[in-house]
Amino acid sequence: YQIPNLLDFAAATQSFRISAVKMAMMLETGRPLEAAAFDAQFQLPDARTLSCLLSLRCDKDDPEELLELYRLVCSKLQGTSCSHCHEAFHEGSSCGIFDGDTFTIPVTVPKIFVPPCGHAIHTTCLGREIIPGNSECRGHCRQCRVANAWTGIDVDPMVNAFCLLFGPYVDKRTQEMCEANELSITAIKSIAEICTNFSLELAGLVSASSAWLLLLKRHDFAEPHMVNLVGEEV
């Protein structure tokens, strides 16, 4: 059976969605004490598992509960640091963008990502690594050099993060081109490289062209006509 309209389907199933936060809290605290006699090897969810549940967050999740879950993820990562900036994780981590401005990361974008190897990275640090010239080992953990091996569950929040971080950059470049009344080959190459780098970080789960199209769809640009012209060159 093929769903004719995904938006209608999402609206119809919204009331049946389970809170990702509540699911995580059940995994973390819901095991009865007597279960220890039957399952001595039972382990609480690790940071990767909880971060995946954070990736599934929805509008039903209370912001305070999301923050509490984020604190829990950080506690799981206690004693470790970001594989890019080497700073410790805490609830205020990853609150700035690479140009020095600060912003509040929306509910659809996790503050950190945890690959299967367990070496977590701040969302904005991942953005810094996507900037042209900032990395030589695309798609691999910068700490252990193992492939990040991101999965389908990571794609949507990573695309959201990509659009949040680089939408304003593309917007600024296109406005400059609009004011100059000409296309900038340097800016176009930089935008194309950013999309390519993002694709390489995800090991091809999202193609470079798809990254650009998703950016067009998810960011509200000030000069849409110029963005379309830039897109043809990108």
Distance CA 201, CA 211 (A): 12
How many C-beta atoms surround the C-beta of residue 191 within 10 A? 24
Q: Which helix (H) or strand (E) holds 154?
A: helix 152-180
User: Token pair of 220, please?
Assistant: 């509200």
Please work out, in degrees rounded to the nearest 5, the angle formed at the alpha carbon of residue 61 by the alpha carbons of 160 and 69: 85
Average pLDDT taken over every residue of the chain: 79
pLDDT of residue 1: 47
In this model, does residue 101 exceed pLDDT 80? no
Q: pTM to 2 decimals?
A: 0.78
| Residue count (the chain) | 234
pLDDT of residue 13: 64
Distance CA 31, CA 185 (A): 58
Q: What's the one-letter identity of residue 6?
A: L
CA atoms 27, 56, 120, 149: torsion sign: positive
List, for residues 52-96, the tens digit of each pLDDT value.
877 776 666 777 777 777 788 888 888 888 888 888 887 665 443
- Whose tokens are 């609150």? That residue is 95
Q: Percentage of the chain with pLDDT > 70?
A: 75
List, for residues 219-233, the tens digit of each pLDDT value.
888 888 888 888 888
Q: CA 228: distance to chain centroid? A: 25
User: Token pair of 159, please?
Assistant: 């695309």
Q: Which candidate, 180, 196, 179, places its Cα nearest to that of 234?
A: 196
pLDDT level of residue 211 (50, 70, 90 thresholds): very high
- Whose tokens are 């067009």? That residue is 216
